[in-house]
Every structure is written in C-alpha cells, then in structure tokens.
C-alpha cells in the first residue's frame, strides 16, 4: 500500500533506510517508518541485525534522555564559572608569585615571557587536571555537577583538553546568553549535568 512517504523512501539508499528503521526510528512518524520498512522488504535487504541495532539505538536514546534530564541549569553553570574563575586566578597568581621569587632577573624579557607562559599554562592546567581526574572542577564540586559526553559517558583526556582549549575562544562565557550550552560544550560535545546517585 502506497502512502505519502513511499516515493521519498524509494529514493533513499539501503544504508539510509537501515538507519531510519533502527537508529533514527524515534525521529520519524509511523507512516514514514511503514514506507521505509516496505521499501526494505521490496529490496530484500537483510534484516537479521536490525533488532540489535534497534536495541542499541534505544539504549543510546535512553542515555541521551537521562543526560538531558540531568543537565545543569544556567544558574548552576554561572555559579561554577564564578567559583572556577576565582580559583583559577588564585592558582595563576600563586604561580606568578613563585616565578617572581624563584626566577632570576624578572625584568629580563625572556624570564618575563617564561613567567607569562607558566601563568597561562596554570590556568589551563587547573581545568584539564581537575576534569580529567574527577570530571569536575572546584566550582562543580560545590554545585554537585560534573562533565559528561553527550551520551553520558566519561570524557576521554582528549575531550577534556579540547573542552579546555575551547574556553579560550573570545567571548565563550557570553555564548550562554544565546545558546543553551556554551562554545566549549558545543565544540567538545560535552555537557555539564547534576550528579545522580546511580
């Protein structure tokens, strides 16, 4: 039986049809799914792995919903930001003072440049070390939140490094005014969520 989606689905590739009836199933209305399944039958596409793909997609969708439900509010993110900016500046100031006391001839341009690099590196190291080790910074400890990937998994080291480097994008902190997640979340595919017992 032909429905409004039959022609559309007949133009899809085998791979696209499989994606529609398994992984992306929740994104389509019943008539579209019916047309896709009919097209799969007409092409005699092997459906033996579909149940596994569908189960995996359902699990991923449940994990995604869980992450979305526990997403930290903008006010919690603001508290995180304020605490972390104070702590990271404090760490940077300590590094600056130590450099001033330890490094000889602080007026020397090379020594001054080394001091600036060390101070800047301490700012980045604060976020990288804390989030790799605990998935949270001191601000996130205070608000009982943590960083996760969009699917709820723990971020890998490279994800945290990318997330931290994206903080250097000019006006990253302003991005929250017009986006639900800031640039450093969006580009690193991470999210800050409230901690749950499970």
Q: What percent of the chain has pLDDT over 70?
A: 96
Selection from 53-57, 72-76, 169-173, 178-182 with the highest mean pLDDT: 72-76
Q: Classify 190 in phi/psi space as left (phi over 0), alpha (psi -120 to 50) or beta.
A: beta
**Which of 95, 114, 94, 91 minimizes the C-alpha distance to 104?**
114
Q: Are 94 and 86 in contact (CB under 8 A)?
A: no
Average pLDDT over residues 15-31: 84
Number of Cβ atoms within 10 Å of the Cβ of 137: 23
User: 23-44: b or e for each residue (b if 16 or more CB lie within 10 Å)?
Assistant: bebeebeeebbbbbbbbbeeee
Rounded-to-10 torsion of CA 121, 126, 130, 131 = -70
Q: What is the pLDDT of residue 16?
A: 85
Global pTM value: 0.70
Is the CA virtual torsion 97, 94, 132, 166 positive or negative? Answer: negative
- The 10s digit of each residue's pLDDT in 92-121 is 999 988 888 887 777 788 888 888 899 899
- The 10s digit of each residue's pLDDT in 111-148 is 888 888 998 999 999 999 999 999 999 999 999 999 99
Average pLDDT over residues 9-20: 86
- The 10s digit of each residue's pLDDT in 154-198 is 999 999 999 999 988 888 777 776 777 788 898 999 999 999 875
**What 3-state DSSP class applies to 152?**
coil
């Amino acid at each position: 039986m032909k429905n409004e989606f039959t022609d559309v689905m007949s133009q899809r590739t085998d791979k696209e049809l499989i994606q529609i009836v398994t992984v992306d199933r929740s994104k389509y209305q019943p008539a579209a799914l019916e047309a896709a399944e009919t097209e799969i039958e007409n092409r005699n596409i092997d459906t033996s792995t579909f149940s596994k793909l569908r189960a995996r997609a359902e699990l991923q969708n449940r994990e995604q919903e869980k992450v979305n439900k526990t997403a930290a509010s903008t006010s919690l993110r603001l508290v995180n930001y304020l605490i972390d900016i104070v702590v990271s500046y404090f760490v940077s100031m300590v590094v600056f003072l130590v450099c001033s006391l330890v490094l000889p001839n602080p007026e020397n341009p090379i020594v001054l440049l080394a001091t600036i690099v060390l101070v800047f590196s301490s700012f980045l190291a604060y976020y990288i070390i804390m989030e790799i080790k605990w998935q949270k910074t001191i601000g996130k400890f205070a608000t009982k939140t943590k960083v996760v990937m969009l699917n709820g998994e723990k971020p890998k080291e490279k994800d945290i490094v990318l997330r931290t480097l994206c903080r250097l994008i000019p006006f990253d902190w302003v991005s929250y005014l017009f986006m639900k997640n800031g640039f450093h979340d969006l580009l690193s595919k991470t999210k800050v969520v409230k901690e749950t017992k499970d």
